[in-house]
């Protein structure tokens, strides 16, 4: 009898170890990556370098966190990069010195993103068109729009108060290391989204729709509304990323953001979110973004040519997902 119980608890332990591995596999990968890079490059393990990496990933992390919503419902958003461009340009137009308070360009950027999200969301949810196609179309609309309103040129001469969003630091007086504002924004977005996905009814509905849309509908979930809203959140956050981007480079650049959506989706998928929806976490997404950031940073420090960097990054993305799929398939 007791032996039996013992065997059972042993089995449960093994089960725990296994599920722990599949649950925290990505985190373990991040730690291993950090350890390897610490050994390989002397300059890696420094507060300054870490803050640098976090700041570098802050824009793509905000995009990836937004994309997590869409991917969780089984959709995809390919328009992120182009939306970053048009929202950045829109914000920059309202960010010339002495015209409006800084809050105006920020809200304009996010607002333009929200409008794009509504447009995508209505077509996806109400007309049932695949998000892949809709967002592909929106990519060229947004890109063309960005060039149009910027008249094909970068929008420069921005208010320093606006640029502070991208380059400002908190603390860091006289030779000390400051804490970049961009990282604060990213962390705030992360915490809010973590709360929404884990603690609210809305978050539950997002997972339910991704897991089984018909069952969610039959359970009384307003599927259309929730589906629409994930695109609004995703594009709205892309608008915020556009503002961050414009403030960071101190110019509204209509040609920026090419390929940003791919880094964002890569972060989401490396973080363990299933492209078919219903499964995934925003913590995973943040870790995914960090993995990509540290790989870029480490390869820079190792003086690897940027051509090789691209190839290596692609291979690591595929490898990470393969590993994830394998650990989850094991029975």
Partner 1 sequence: MNNEYILEMTDICKSFPGVKALENVNLKLKRGTVHALMGENGAGKSTLMKVLMGMYVPDSGRVVYDGREISKYTQGQAIEMGITMVHQELSYIPYMTVAENMFLGREILKNGVVDKNAMCEKAGELLARVGVGLDPRLLMKDLSVSERQMVEIAKCVSYNAQIVIMDEPTSAITDKEVERLFSVLNDLKAKGVAIIYISHKMDEVLKISDEVTILRDGSFIDTFSTKNIDIDKIIVAMVGRELSQVYPEKHNKIGEQIFEVKNLKRDGVFHDISFSLREGEILGFAGLMGAGRTEIMRAVYGIDKLDGGEIYIHGKRTVIRNPGDAIRNRIGLVNEDRKGVGLVLPMSIKNNLTLSNLNKYFNGIVVGKKKEAELADRMIKLLAIKAPSKEQLVKNLSGGNQQKVVLGKLLLDEAEILIMDEPTRGIDVGAKSEIYKLICELAEDGKAVIVVSSEMPELLGLCDRIIVLHEGKMMGEVRREDFDQETLMKWAFAQ
What is the binding site for partner 1 (CB under 8 A)?
8, 11-12, 14-15, 18-19, 199-202, 204, 207-208, 211-212, 214-222, 278-279, 331
Comparing CB distances to partner 1, the nearer of 200 and 255 is 200
Phi, psi of 296 (to 5 degrees): -55, -50
The least CB distance from residue 156 to partner 1, in Å, is 42
CA angle (172 as vertex; 171, 173 as ends), nearest 5: 100
The least CB distance from residue 11 to partner 1, in Å, is 6
The least CB distance from residue 65 to partner 1, in Å, is 19
b/e burial code for range 147-185 (CB count within 10 A of at least 16 → b): bebbeeebbeebbeebbebbebbeeeeeeeeeebbbbeb
Comparing CB distances to partner 1, the nearer of 221 and 268 is 221
Comparing CB distances to partner 1, the nearer of 19 and 310 is 19
Scan for tokens 């722990």, then name that residue.
Answer: 20
Comparing CB distances to partner 1, the nearer of 79 and 274 is 274
d(CA 205, CA 278): 10
The least CB distance from residue 135 to partner 1, in Å, is 24
Comparing CB distances to partner 1, the nearer of 66 and 278 is 278
The least CB distance from residue 8 to partner 1, in Å, is 8
**Cβ 57 vs Cβ 266: under 8 Å:** no
Q: Which two tokens stand for residue 219?
A: 């359970």
**Cβ 34 vs Cβ 290: under 8 Å:** no
The least CB distance from residue 199 to partner 1, in Å, is 5
**Cβ 231 vs Cβ 77: under 8 Å:** yes
**Cβ 120 vs Cβ 77: under 8 Å:** yes
Comparing CB distances to partner 1, the nearer of 236 and 242 is 236
């Amino acid at each position: 009898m007791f032996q039996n119980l013992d065997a059972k608890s042993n089995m449960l332990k093994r089960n725990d170890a296994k599920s722990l591995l599949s649950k925290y596999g990505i985190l373990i990968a991040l730690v291993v990556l950090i350890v390897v890079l610490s050994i390989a490059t002397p300059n890696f393990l420094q507060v300054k370098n870490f803050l640098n990496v976090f700041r570098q990933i802050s824009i793509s992390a905000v995009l990836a966190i937004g994309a997590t919503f869409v991917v969780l419902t089984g959709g995809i958003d390919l328009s992120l990069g182009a939306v970053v461009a048009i929202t950045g340009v829109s914000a920059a137009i309202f960010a010339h010195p002495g015209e409006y308070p800084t809050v105006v360009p920020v809200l304009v950027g996010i607002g333009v993103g929200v409008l794009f999200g509504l447009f995508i969301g209505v077509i996806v949810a109400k007309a049932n068109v695949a998000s892949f196609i809709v967002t592909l179309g929106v990519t060229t609309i947004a890109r063309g729009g960005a060039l149009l309103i910027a008249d094909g040129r970068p929008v420069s001469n921005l208010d320093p108060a606006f640029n502070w969003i991208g380059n400002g630091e908190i603390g860091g007086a006289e030779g000390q290391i400051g804490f970049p504002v961009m990282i604060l924004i990213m962390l705030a977005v992360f915490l809010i989204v973590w709360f929404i996905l884990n603690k609210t009814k809305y978050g539950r509905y997002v997972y339910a729709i991704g897991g089984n849309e018909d069952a969610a509908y039959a359970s009384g979930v307003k599927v259309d509304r929730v589906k629409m809203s994930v695109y609004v959140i995703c594009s709205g956050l892309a608008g915020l990323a556009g503002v961050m981007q414009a403030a960071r480079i101190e110019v509204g650049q209509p040609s920026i953001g090419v390929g940003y959506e791919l880094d964002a989706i890569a972060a989401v998928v490396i973080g363990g979110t299933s492209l078919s929806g219903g499964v995934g976490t925003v913590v995973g997404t943040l870790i995914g973004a960090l993995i990509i950031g540290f790989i870029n940073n480490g390869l820079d420090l190792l003086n690897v040519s940027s051509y090789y960097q691209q190839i290596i990054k692609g291979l690591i993305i595929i490898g990470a997902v393969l590993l994830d799929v394998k650990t989850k398939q094991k029975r």
